């Protein structure tokens, strides 16, 4: 996720669980032992100048037919927010992903991965934005286009495949989920 700007914090209510996942692929012929470490700082609520929250835009209503295919998902953003990071999320059969914002001249590309690497399913390839550089206004329309090359011989559905973009932003204390409409 990276480090948040000074004075910014993510809200974690008392008793809430927070899961951190790390995935490894050992390509050697030897057994390897690993150890993870995360640095999490606690901030007093009175010291927080701005809340940060996770966000997701996409759908879990994914059906990927055999062969090459694409899906577009559109969403009107639920309230004002600023994106700090954005990264795509596809699984093993993903081939490309693009995140766009509607503008007066059509659609403006925000994030584009024309060749998806399945490695990114568990090791995100995020883009980071200046803390105040990517504001989103309530009602603003976004679209994510996901493409796949399904070589399994049968249709794939969630959770075998996904179509979405996610990240961290500020301007909201609670996570934002912009469930889109399939176009």
In a domain, 42, yes or no: no
**Higher-confidence position of 116 and 38:** 116
Any domain includes 45: no
The mean pLDDT of 12-36, rounded to a whole number, is 78
Examine residue 102 and state whether it is found in any structural domain, yes or no.
Answer: yes
When pLDDT is averaged across residues 27-35 and rounded to a whole number, the result is 84
Q: What percent of the chain has pLDDT over 90?
A: 43
| Count of structural domains within the chain | 1
In a domain, 38, yes or no: no
The CATH number given to whatever domain includes residue 73 is 2.60.120.230
**Terminal CA-to-CA distance of the chain, rounded, Å?**
30
Q: Quick check: is 127 in a domain?
A: yes
Is 80 exceeded by the pLDDT of residue 19?
no
- pLDDT score for 21: 66
**Distances from the Cα of 112 to the Cα of 9, 73, 98, 108, 155, angstroms:** 28, 15, 4, 11, 25
Q: Which positions ≥6 away from 172 have C-beta within 8 Å?
A: 51, 53, 79, 81
pLDDT of 131 > 70? The answer is no
**Region 147-159 average pLDDT:** 94
Q: How far is CA 149 from CA 6, 69, 89, 94, 156, in A?
A: 42, 7, 15, 6, 11
Task: Please report whether residue 35 resides in a domain.
Answer: no
At residue 130 the predicted structure's pLDDT band, cuts being 50, 70 and 90, is low
In a domain, 161, yes or no: yes
7 in Cβ contact with 131 (< 8 Å): no
Task: Tell me what pLDDT residue 112 has.
Answer: 92
Whether 24 maps to a domain, the answer reads no
Q: What is the pLDDT of residues 93-127, one digit of tens each?
A: 999 999 999 988 899 999 999 999 888 877 777 77
Closest CA to 22 of 12, 34, 30, 13: 34
The domain in which residue 87 lies consists of 53-182
Burial 35-66 (b: 16+ CB within 10 A, else e): eeeeeeeeeeeeeeebbbbbbbbbbeebebee
Distance (Å, whole) CA 145 – CA 74: 9
pLDDT tens track for 50-109:
999 989 999 889 999 999 999 999 999 998 998 888 889 999 999 999 999 998 889 999
């Amino acid at each position: 996720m990276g480090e948040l700007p000074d004075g910014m914090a993510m809200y974690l209510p008392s008793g809430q669980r927070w899961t951190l996942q790390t995935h490894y692929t050992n390509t050697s012929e030897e057994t390897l032992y690993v150890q993870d470490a995360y640095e999490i700082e606690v901030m007093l609520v009175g010291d927080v100048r701005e809340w940060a929250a996770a966000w997701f835009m996409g759908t879990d209503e994914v059906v990927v037919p055999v062969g090459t295919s694409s899906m577009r998902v559109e969403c009107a953003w639920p309230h004002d927010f600023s994106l700090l990071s954005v990264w795509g999320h596809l699984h093993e059969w993903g081939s490309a992903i693009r995140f766009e914002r509607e503008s007066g001249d059509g659609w403006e590309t925000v994030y584009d991965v024309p060749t998806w690497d399945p490695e990114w399913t568990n090791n995100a390839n995020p883009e980071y934005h200046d803390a105040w550089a990517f504001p989103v206004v309530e009602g603003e329309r976004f679209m994510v286009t996901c493409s796949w090359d399904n070589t399994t011989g049968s249709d794939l559905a969630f959770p075998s495949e996904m179509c979405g973009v996610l990240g961290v932003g500020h301007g909201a204390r609670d996570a934002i989920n912009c469930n889109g409409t399939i176009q």
